[in-house]
Amino acid sequence: MRFNVSARSPKRVPRASARMRRSVLGVVVAVVVSMTLSACASGHNQKGGGGEDQPMVVHLTNDLAPPSDVTVYAVTQDGVRRLMGDVPPNKDRAMKIPSDVARGSTFRLVAERTSISRPVVSQPISATTDGLIIDWSLQTNAIWFPESGN
């Protein structure tokens, strides 16, 4: 007895639909990944609104006795000093903490006097938020964090 076997395999028809399914699945995966990345990127700028980080600012009062010019640095835990600026005697200055002091890191403020060798060193400060404001009085070496106007 002879059987006629078709030269065409029945699997060829589903192969085309399998390609179509893979193409549709690829497009769906690409759209989901794109939406996920967009959501992650936009979630980080909720506070700033303008797309850039708010600077951390130190309002320094140079009320040292005897009066002395000071040069102010931000010093990270690994000992890297970043220059912030100079403050003349009996003056106030607002200075930005350098942007390369990473959020989440800990640093100290150091005010070096020009006439006396012993610097004024602050307590450790955590750079945890954008828009951090620090008030620092050199005479008492007191630091406080005023409430922001939000």
> pLDDT tens digit string along 15-69?
556 666 666 666 555 555 555 555 544 444 444 444 456 788 999 999 998 898 9
Residue 55, pLDDT score? 83
Give the residues across from 83 on adjacent strands: 73
| pLDDT confidence bin for 148, thresholds 50/70/90 | low
| CA 111 – CA 127 distance, rounded (Å) | 18
54 or 140, which is more confident:
140
